[in-house]
Amino acid sequence: MTREEAKKFFATNTKEVAIYLLIRSALSVNKLDFNVVRFTEAYSQPHRYYHTWKHIENMIMDLIDAPKTIGSNFIDERLIIAIVYHDLVYDPKLNNNEEKSAMKFVGDWKGSADDGKFIVSLITDTKTHIPSSELSEQLIELDLNIFTKSLTDILEYNNQIFKEYQFYDWRAYHDGRLDVLNKLKKQCGEQGMSGIEVGLMQLIDCFESIKPKIGVFTGSFNPFHIGHQNILDKAEKVFDKVIIARGINAGKSNSDFTMLPRHLEYHQQEMYHGLVTDFLKGLDYPITLVRGLRNAKDFNYELTMNQYIQDINKGVGIPTTLFLCDREFNHVSSSAINQLPKEQQEMYLTFK
């Protein structure tokens, strides 16, 4: 396929439709079925912020629009296939995403064994960003092409990666991420990817000044219910990250301490005993306490607790943001749920 042939898809279609038709054409030539629902569901997983379908669309657009990136007027369909499959499996907690994505491809592939093996190598090369062929080099440049964009775009990318790894504590994430960026910069310099290297240098230079807004949502969460989720949803629109901190409450029974729901597994989860002030100080970086309000009683309680915090801290309070829950949740409480029969609890513990 030539670049001119690829651009014809965009002549009478929206960008999204044109990319879909282009991908379907490249896959169908190689007897691959482009199941839109399957790929959309994979790339729309809630723990993805950067590694979404938008990333695939951007790679396709860069492939078509940037002659220096594609290296010639001819677009190899195998490259398009590798783009579509290379992030099909993405779990930031795993270190074998590329291998799993390659296995998904192998399960779909009906073409020649040699082409299949070559496409597998393209997909797995995106793990190390060390090219094994000329086409692999093109794929890696496309995958890292965000670093050739504006600093604003690079910083947005950086925040999206931060959200994908938000289950790490900020200090650990900061040091690990900076190490990754420095190694990648050195590697790109050695491989002659000067444009990408410059973008990485820009990000590294301002990395220390990046201070994410981190909220800490505290409570016993025993159980975590739809009212808690309503507050968390609101907080995540304000903060870059919200830590879920479970206090072991001496005033409540902990004999049936429940697990947090599975959909929160990509959030940083902490447990603490004793004073919340001691726990928050132990984090050793700026945070804001997040609390939810259902009614005036909750508001008065939070005012009292804030005064105790100031007393304990010798007049210094902890930055706190209070969120009002939506009306349909203002009667929901963990203690009330625990009084209900198990079958009636489910309506308060089922999340959309």
Q: Which pLDDT band, with edges at 50, 70 and 90, does 254 fall under? A: low
Mean pLDDT of 310-338: 89
Q: List phi, psi (to 5°) of 2.
A: -90, 165
Q: Looking at residue 317, what is its pLDDT?
A: 74
Whether residue 348 has pLDDT greater than 50: yes
Question: How far, in Å, CA of 209 to CA of 314, rounded?
Answer: 30
Q: Looking at residue 258, what is its pLDDT?
A: 87
Helix or strand (DSSP H, E) at 247: strand 241-247
Question: How far, in Å, CA of 36 to CA of 16, rounded?
Answer: 12
Query: pLDDT (tens digit, 9 = 90+) per residue, 180-208?
Result: 999 999 999 999 999 999 999 999 999 98
For the chain, count helices (H), then strands (E).
17, 5
223 vs 10, higher pLDDT: 223
Whether residue 289 has pLDDT greater than 70: yes
Q: Which pLDDT band, with edges at 50, 70 and 90, does 121 fall under? A: very high
Mean pLDDT of 117-139: 96
Q: List phi, psi (to 5°) of 147.
A: -75, -5
Mean pLDDT of 113-136: 96
Mean pLDDT of 241-259: 79
Whether residue 246 has pLDDT greater than 50: yes
Whether 50 and 161 have beta carbons less than 8 Å apart is answered as: yes
Q: Looking at residue 64, what is its pLDDT?
A: 87
Whether 28 and 34 have beta carbons less than 8 Å apart is answered as: yes
75 vs 236, higher pLDDT: 236
Task: Give the domain ranges of the chain.
Answer: 1-143, 146-210, 214-349
Q: Looking at residue 32, what is its pLDDT?
A: 83
Q: List, in sequence order, the alpha helices (H) in 165-252.
A: 170-190, 194-207, 226-236
Q: Looking at residue 255, what is its pLDDT?
A: 58
Q: Which pLDDT band, with edges at 50, 70 and 90, does 318 fall under? A: confident
Question: How far, in Å, CA of 123 to CA of 131, rounded?
Answer: 10
Mean pLDDT of 238-262: 83
In the chain, the amino acid numbered 237 is: K
Whether residue 249 has pLDDT greater than 70: no
Q: Which pLDDT band, with edges at 50, 70 and 90, does 72 fall under? A: low
* High-pLDDT (> 90) share of the chain, %: 75
DSSP state of 109: -
Q: Which pLDDT band, with edges at 50, 70 and 90, does 70 fall under? A: very low
In the chain, the amino acid numbered 100 is: K
Q: 255 in helix, strand or coil?
A: coil
Tell me which range, 26-35, 83-92, 315-324, is most confidently predicted by mean pLDDT: 83-92
**Class level of CATH domain 214-349:** alpha beta
